[in-house]
Amino acid sequence: MSAQVLGSTSFERPRWLRILEPLGPLAAAFALAALVLFAAGHNPIDVYTLLAVEAFGSSRRIAATLSAATPLILTGLATAVAFRAGAFNVGVEGCIFVGGLAAATVGFTFVGLPAALLLPLALVAAVLVGSLWMLVPGLLKARLDVDEVVTTLMLNFIAISLTAWLVNGPLLAPGSANSATPMIADAARLPKLMPPSTLNAGFLIAIALLGLYALWGNRTALGFETRLAGMNARFAAASGINVPMLVIKMMLLSGAIGGLAGGIHALGNVGRFVAGFSPGYGFTGIAVALLGRGSALGIFLAALLFGALANAGATIQFFSDVPIEIVDILQGTVMVFAVAQLGWIFVRRRASA
Amino acid sequence: MAITAATSALVSALGTTSALAQDKPVALIISQSGLGDQSYNDLAYEGFKRGLEATGLEGRPVESRDVVAQAAEILRRASDADFGLVIDLEYSHGEPMLEVAKDYPDTNYVILNQVREAPNVASVLFQEQEGSYLAGMLAALVTTDTSIKGITPEPIIGVIGGTKSAGIDKFIAGYVEGAKAANPDVVVKVAYSNNFADPAIGLQMTKAMFEEGVDIVYQVAGGTGMGVIQAAKEAGRYAIGVDTDQDGLAPGNVLTSMIKRTDVAVETLIKDYAAGNFPRGETTTFGLAEDGVGLSEMLHTKDLIPAEYLEKVEAAKQDILSGKIKVWNVVEQGYPDYLK
């Protein structure tokens, strides 16, 4: 009965197919990039081997890849949570900026506090600020049916400009020639997991949240209701679910995770808020959520892929003449193929509306 | 095993098996704006290529789309991969470099525009105040000469800084000092855009200055400064460029540019490294004397400016070189009275 009611084909397809499905776009992306590499005079097999070695070739390289994947797991998760309730939140990028600045500000302001107090305080600040950042688009979407794609996208620009202004003015580190806050106190630092790598406890937080997300989505009433509301809002409302409230809750949750992504990035890796804090983790997170099909394992693997590309894409330049643009093309092609799925989601949304 | 073999094969392909430290290859870490920025990175890369060619060393530029977060990972990878000299153009890499440098005592590092104290790190500073002094002097001489197109009789000039910080005020103080030296009655309007990447802000602020009677605006604001130059072009007045030769961006409306020769610094350090006298643990300053800063050739404006002004500027340059004039350095000396 449920498969019919939900109006989705995904339940009818065998599990193995659902797992293998994203591999098609990946293979296509790598094949296309191989052609570009070949045309540019590189041997694609050598380049891919080098990429694999730089991404996973030693424990140190794996740690670097996991470190690069950490913000992407969180932004992918933040996006997926909103997707699930039928809200297409593209404002996670802004949440990273405001959350990151909030955590850094707590981290360099209350320097006297012990780690047991300061670290949670800084993370909570990031979560709260990120969550609040999504309050208005959540309300507008739930109450007035204002398109969240527009509001959250616009909020990104505001977040980026607002943090840029703060970090150039009131929060600027004394004596710094570029836009950066002071370094956070050591007590505010997330512990490193495999020193000297930048891989830190933020990765464990991200993995734990992925686990909770899997449990929540599959085992709890709220998780089921959210999924229902995302698939067919009218049916969910008819079954007595308060859909607008659900959308607000999920937007706040999405913002909270986005803010946390920024907080963890500030406290675990960068150690401050600085110009160039996020190179677009929030946007890559959309691709991560789509490529991962909204499943916990899928999000992890997609984040791992983009993390590996970001990490190895930089360091292969020490050993080859492959410019960063080739990695951009590879990453971009994977995104295009992943986002091809987006059309499918919109078609489904329209069909159910 | 195969993986380790592949890595070591790649490393040896770079010719890094040699025993001498200064024969090991050189890495250039590109900053946020990336190669192709027609500014800081491209200029440094030119110097990098010249340095490699002159010394016969191997070397590679490395770009990352996530250069801020990957600081320590990239610096460590370069050090692990047996690069002997790592030149880092990214400003935010100062702290991570100290952390990495202590783990690789045999590797040499270079950081620009800041001082980082470690036995194997060389810091590079530019005497931007010296070049700015000359720019201020030229602006003050020109601003009252109404025979020049677009110049108003009032002795008012302007400067827009990207942010209120010692690093930027170092330029501004030099500019004001040079202007006052040429004409004690000159008024210098100082403003900050609090943004290095928004030409629209630069455009608006510059237009507002023009309305107050300013006819020449020096920009020390990165991408925001593109708006300053645009405003000068639109209003038929003058901008002064910074960092690279920006005279060609609006030919005839950019009076001159205060060039920071990052290329000279990079090239010099590579040559020093190859020759075995790399300034480990030292701060090297590049000023007028080292050809590290200076005014552009003024290809498009030289014919507009009366020769006597250019001669005065040249004389001031000689006085700075001979030590007769010592231009105020905000970073070392704090703020002067005229710029509190």
* Sequence spans of domains, chain A: 32-352
Query: Is the ipTM here above 0.85?
Result: yes
- Between chains, do A183 and B99 touch, taking CB under 8 Å as contact? no
Give the model's pLDDT for residue B68. Answer: 94
Work out the angle at residue B38's Cα, subtended by the Cα atoms of residues B219 and B270, and round it to the nearest 5 degrees: 105
Q: Are B222 and B37 in contact (CB under 8 A)?
A: no
- Closest chain A residue to B12, measured at CA: A319
- Tell me how crowded residue B118 is: count the other CB atoms within 10 A of its CB: 18
Distance, in angstroms, between B26 CA and closest chain A CA? 10
Interface contact A271-B95, CB threshold 8 A: yes
Q: How many CA atoms lie within 13 A of B132 on its CB side?
A: 30
Distance from CA of B139 to the nearest CA of A (A): 25
Least CA distance to B60: which residue of chain A?
A318
The shortest CB-CB distance from B74 to any of A49, A314, A323 is to A314
The pLDDT of residue A115 is above 50: yes
Banded model confidence at residue A241, pLDDT cuts 50, 70, 90: confident
CB B316 within 8 A of CB B130: no
One-letter amino acid at A167 equals V
* Residue in chain A nearest B330 by alpha carbon: A175
Pick from A267, A317, A326, A335 the residue to mutate for testing the B interface (most B CBs within 10 Å). A317
Residue A5 banded pLDDT, cuts 50, 70, 90: very low
What percent of chain A has pLDDT above 70? 90
**Whether B92 and A58 lie within 8 Å, measured CB to CB:** no
Q: Nearest-CA distance from B315 to chain A in Å?
A: 31
Q: Do B72 and A196 touch (CB under 8 A)?
A: yes
Nearest CA in chain A to B99: A196
Chain B touched by A162 (CB under 8 Å)? no
A-B interface: how many C-beta pairs under 8 angstroms? 136
Q: Which position has the higher pLDDT, B220 or A169?
A: B220
Q: How far is CA A58 from CA A15, A55, B2, in A?
A: 33, 8, 11
pLDDT in tens, chain B (340 residues): 344 444 544 544 454 444 456 789 999 999 988 898 878 899 999 999 999 999 999 999 999 999 999 999 999 999 999 999 999 999 999 999 999 999 999 999 999 999 999 999 999 999 999 999 999 999 999 999 999 999 999 999 999 998 888 888 999 999 999 999 999 999 999 999 887 878 999 999 999 999 999 999 999 998 899 999 999 999 999 999 999 999 999 999 999 999 999 999 999 999 999 999 999 999 999 999 999 999 999 999 999 999 999 999 999 999 999 999 999 998 888 889 888 7
Residue A240: Cβ within 10 Å count: 7
Q: Tokens 């190669």 appear where? A: B35
The CATH code belonging to domain B2-126+263-286 is: 3.40.50.2300
Q: For residue A344, what pLDDT is reported?
A: 58
Nearest by CB to residue A276, choosing from B7, B32, B61, is: B32
Mean pLDDT value of segment A216-245: 87
Residue-level pLDDT at A349 = 58
Instruction: Choose the closest CB to A49 out of B6, B64, B195.
Output: B6
Q: How confident is the model at residue A284 (pLDDT cuts 50, 70, 90)?
A: very high
Note whether A210 and A299 are within 8 A (CB).
Answer: yes
Contacts of A241 (CB under 8 A, 6+ apart): A225, A228, A229
Backbone angles phi, psi at A145, to 5 degrees: 55, 35
Answer for the pair B157, B186: CB distance below 8 angstroms, yes or no. Answer: yes
**What percentage of chain A exceeds 90 in pLDDT?**
65
Per-residue pLDDT, A225:
87
Q: How far apart are CA B92 and CA B111, in angstroms?
A: 10
Q: Which residue, A50, A20, A76, is CA-closest to A327?
A: A50
- Distance between start and end Cα atoms, chain B: 63
Token pair for B238: 């003058």
| Sheet of B121-126, strands arranged across | B59-62, B26-29, B85-88, B108-112, B121-126, B283-286
Q: Where do the domains of chain B lie?
A: 2-126+263-286, 129-259+306-339
Q: Encode pLDDT of A13-26 as tens digits.
A: 666 766 666 677 78
Q: What is the pLDDT at residue A240?
A: 87
Residue A218 to chain B, least CA–CA distance (Å): 34
Among A178, A203, A327, A330, pick the best mutation site for testing chain B contact (most B Cβ within 10 A). A178
Closest Cα in chain B to A183:
B95
Beta strands in chain B (DSSP E): 26-29, 59-62, 85-88, 108-112, 121-126, 156-161, 187-192, 216-220, 238-243, 254-260, 283-286, 293-295
Cβ-defined contact of B195 to A315 (cutoff 8 Å)? no
Q: What's the mean pLDDT when you consider all of chain A?
A: 89
Query: Comparing A13-27, A37-51, A190-204, which segment has the lowest mean pLDDT?
Result: A13-27
Domain B129-259+306-339 annotated CATH 3.40.50.300: no
Closest chain B residue by Cα to residue A175: B166
Closest CA–CA distance from residue B309 to any residue of chain A (Å): 32
Give me the sign of the Cα torsion angle A182, A183, A186, A189.
Answer: positive
Q: Distance, in angstroms, between B303 CA and closest chain A CA?
A: 36
Interface test with chain B among A319, A326, A327, A328, by most B beta carbons within 10 Å: A319
pLDDT bin (cut points 50, 70, 90) of residue A271 is very high
**The domains spanning B2-126+263-286 and B129-259+306-339 adopt the same CATH topology:** yes
CB contact under 8 A, A270 and B69: yes
Sheet holding B293-295, edge to edge: B187-192, B156-161, B216-220, B238-243, B254-260, B293-295
Question: Taking 50 as the threshold, does the pLDDT of residue A322 lie above it?
Answer: yes
- What's the token pair of residue B274? 């190859």
| Strand bridging mode B156-161 / B187-192 | parallel
Smallest Cβ–Cβ distance between B62 and the set A67, A177, A318 belongs to A318
Q: Is A269 on the interface with B (CB under 8 A)?
A: yes
Confidence class of residue A228 from pLDDT cuts 50, 70 and 90?
confident
Selection from A319, A40, A42 nearest residue B58 by Cα? A319
Q: Which residue of B has its CA nearest to A331?
A: B65
Q: Does A66 touch chain B (CB under 8 A)?
A: no
* pLDDT of res. A311: 96
* Residue A318 distance to chain B (closest CA, Å): 6
Q: Cα-flanking dihedrals φ and ψ of residue B284, to 5°? A: -105, 130
Structure tokens at A328: 């951009």
- Write the class of the CATH domain A32-352: mainly alpha
